[in-house]
Amino acid sequence: MFDFLGYGFVDLSMIGIIIIGILIGIEHTFEIDHVVAVSTLVSQKKDTAPWRIGSAWGIGHSITTVVLGVMLLLLNIKLPGVLYEVGEIAVGITLIYLGLKHIVFKEIRNTHKHKYGSEFGHLNPMQKWSDWSLTSILVGMVHGFAGSGFLILLLITASEMVEGILFLSSFCISIIVSMGILSHLWGKLQNIHQKGIGNIAGFASIVAGLLLIIEYT
């Protein structure tokens, strides 16, 4: 595993495999579509601890990664390239939705909050039902099908079972912790610059989503 990337995975100890998984997980966390999605989620729910939103996203990403990773390790199959493209388009649609939800419907939410004393009020049943941890998990699951996460899954198919499990575990834990920390820092920044910082995340989410869709259609 990773021989063609120059890692010489065969010669690494188990600790070395874990370290590589952690480092790649940290790098994967900072991909622009991930950062934009979670920062928008954090900006939308200011009364929820940011680290919970980020960690929930990481859990969702890990659920997809583990499910597909175990399938690949056990069945030794290669996922078709079209799935990668579909996953990227799905991420693009998700980013646009998150951005529009934050910017376009912001005033509607504020109106209902003022009128009914609740952020959701009587806006619609889906918003009443929506739990932000669940939302973050679902968004993370979408990301798990796409981007570098998909490439990581392709790499897992070339590894031995034990190596794959060690790498997969350290990779997922790293993503959960890293995104929790990153979202916490974003929350701190948002507290300092309360006006406009959320809208920046929303606009960035829409732009990133459009660019992904254009690139993969």
pLDDT, tens digit (0-9, with 9 covering 90-100), for 111-136:
545 454 544 444 444 444 355 688 89
Residues 6+ apart with CB under 8 A from 107: none
State residue 145's pLDDT score.
85
Per residue in 57-86, pLDDT tens? 999 999 998 888 888 777 776 677 788 788
State how far the alpha carbon of 125 is from the alpha carbons of 42, 46, 110, 120, in Å.
Answer: 22, 21, 17, 9
Q: What pLDDT is recorded for position 39?
A: 92
Rounded Cα distance, 123 and 51, in Å: 27
- Helical spans, DSSP H, in 76-131: 81-103, 106-116, 125-129
